[in-house]
Amino acid sequence: MKSIHIQNLIVITAIALLASCNLTKDVEIDLPDYARQPVVECYLEPGKPFRLLLTRSYAFFDTLGLSSNFLQNALLDGAFVTISYNGQTDTLKNQLTLVPNPIKVFNYVGENMVPGTPGTQFDLYIRLQDGGEIRARSSMLPVVPIDSIQVEFSEELDSLARMLTYITDDQSQENFYRRILNYSSLDSFPDQDFLVTDRFSQTASIAFGTGYELKVGDTVFNSIFHVTRDYYDFKESVDLAVIGNLNPFAQPSPIKSNVSGTANPVGIFTVLVYDRDTTIISK
C-alpha cells in the first residue's frame, strides 16, 4: 500500500508542476513592408462598352473598413488607358461607372462598343501617373452555345427536379469553360460556379447537371463561359488564394496574371464570351 501511495503522490506532484508552468509564449513575427501593386480587371464583353477597373492592392492586415473615403483610396485614378483592335485605338475615360444586374464597378469607360468577331485581338496599354506602364493582350474566342436544357423530376420525390445543360465541345483543340448557375436572379450567390477543361470529357457532348433540388416555379439562370487559358489560370489562382487566406496552415498562392509592365501589376485582361439561358421549372 505504501508504494501505491508514493506513485500517486508522484503523479499528483507532476500534474501540479505542469499546471504551474506557463506553457504559452508570445512570438513576434517581423513582416516585411508590403509593396502595393496596381490591380487590373478588364473583362471585355461583345456589344458592351470598353470598361476597366484599376485599383490598388492592399496588405492582408491593412484596415480597409467602410469609411467614406474607402472608394477613393482603393481606386487608382489619373491613368492613361487605351485598348487597340482592328487597326484602331480607343481611349478610356477616367469615369466611375456602376452597372446593375449583376452589379459591377468600373473607373475607366470607353465610348465605343466591343466588337463581337471571334479571333479579334485586343491590346491594352496603361500609363500611370508615376510613369509606370502596364500591357496585356487577349483574343476573342467563339461562343460555345447551349445545345439543350433538360428538366427531369425525381421518381422518388416527384416534387423535386434536376437540370441537365448540354454543350458541344470542339475536340480538335483544348477548351476551357466556366459554369455559373444562379437561382432567382443573376445577383444571387451562385449555386454553382466552377472552372473546367474539356480534358475530363471523352466525347464532344458535355453535360453540366444539378442535384434533385429544384421545385416548380423556380427560376434558373444557366451561363456557360468559353474562356481563355489566361483567364482559367487567373481565376483558379484567385480561388486558391482565397482558400489559402482562410486556412492558417495553407501555403500562399500567387496570382497568375496576364498583365505585365514596369508598374509591376497584377490582374487580368480578357474577353468574356458566353451563352446564357433562363429556365422556369415546370412539369
Domain containing 261 equals 38-142+228-273
Residue 192 CB coordination number (10 Å): 14
Kindly state whether residues 161 and 206 are assigned to the same domain.
Answer: yes
Residues 221 and 256 in one domain: no
Domain-located, residue 33: no
What domain count does the chain have? 2
pLDDT at 4 over 90: no
Residues 72-84: what's their mean pLDDT? 92
Please tell me whether residues 210 and 243 are part of one structural domain.
no
The answer to whether position 112 is within a domain reads yes
Q: What is the CATH number of the domain that holds 195?
A: 2.60.40
Question: What is the C-alpha separation between 135 and 84, in angstroms, rounded?
Answer: 11
* pLDDT classification of 27: cutoffs 50, 70, 90: low
Residues 114 and 240 in one domain: yes
Inside any domain, residue 26: no
How would residue 34 be classed by pLDDT, with cut points 50, 70 and 90? low
Q: Which tens digits make up the pLDDT trace of 178-228?
A: 999 999 888 888 999 999 999 888 899 999 999 999 999 999 999 999 999
**Cα 272 to Cα 140: distance, rounded to the nearest angstrom:** 8
- Rounded distance, CA 136 to CA 261, Å? 9
Separation CA 231–CA 228 (nearest Å): 5
Contact 214, 151 (CB under 8 A): yes
Q: Which amino acid is at 266?
A: V
pLDDT interval class at 89 (50, 70, 90)? very high
Average pLDDT across the chain, whole number: 86
Query: pLDDT at position 202, please?
Result: 84
Task: Check whether residue 125 and residue 185 sit in a common domain.
Answer: no
CB atoms within 10 A of CB 211: 11
- 218, 232: one domain: no
Please tell me whether residues 131 and 236 are part of one structural domain: yes
Does residue 28 fall inside a structural domain? no
Q: What's this model's pTM, rounded to 2 decimal places? A: 0.82
- Other CB atoms closer than 10 Å to residue 19's CB: what's the count? 8
pLDDT of residue 3: 43
Q: Identify the residue with better confidence: 169 or 251.
A: 169
Confirm whether 5 is domain-assigned: no
Tell me whether residue 47 is in a domain.
Answer: yes
Count the helices and strands in the chain (H runs, E runs).
3, 15
Say whether both 106 and 240 belong to one domain.
yes
CA gyration radius for the chain?
Answer: 26
What pLDDT score does 183 carry?
92
Residue 94 lies in a domain: yes
Reported as a single tens digit per residue, the pLDDT across 121-143 is 999 999 999 999 999 999 999 99
Is the confidence at residue 233, as pLDDT, over 80?
A: yes
Alpha carbons 175 and 141: distance in angstroms, whole number: 10
